[in-house]
């Protein structure tokens, strides 16, 4: 999964024709590290149907502030340029996949 900065995220959300799932996280966050391999696997499973990216909240504070990130991990789904849903905290693979499917 590619890590993007604040501007890259804005650009991606604006032009993507498929849903964009953004993992707001940080390297020091334990639950983030637990969720990362799940999202990586799901990003491969849903390649072509959705785009998955990661935003490090320490490196991209602007994006975190703009999207109201106060707790991590926080996966926000964007569709047609707008945030449509989010999943907060570590969630097991089955539930994370159900969240993704609900947006697709």
Options 9, 13, 20, 32, the catalytic residue: 32
Options 13, 29, 57, 77, the catalytic residue: 29
43 classed as catalytic? no
Q: Are 72 and 24 in contact, with CB atoms under 8 Å apart? A: yes
Determine phi and psi for 74, rounding to 5 degrees.
-140, 115
In the sheet with 2-3, reading across from the earlier edge strand, the strands are 2-3, 51-56, 20-25, 74-79, 82-88
32 classed as catalytic? yes
Any idea which residues carry the catalytic annotation? 29, 32
């Amino acid at each position: 999964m590619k890590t993007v900065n604040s501007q890259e995220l804005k650009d991606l959300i604006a032009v993507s024709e498929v849903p964009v799932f953004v993992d707001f996280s940080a390297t020091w966050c334990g639950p983030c590290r637990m969720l990362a391999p799940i999202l990586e696997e799901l990003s491969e499973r849903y390649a072509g149907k959705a785009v998955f990216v990661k935003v490090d909240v320490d490196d991209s504070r602007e994006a975190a502030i703009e999207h109201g990130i106060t707790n991590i991990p926080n996966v926000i789904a964007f569709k047609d340029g707008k945030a449509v849903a989010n999943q907060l905290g570590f969630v097991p693979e089955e539930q994370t996949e159900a969240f993704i499917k609900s947006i697709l």
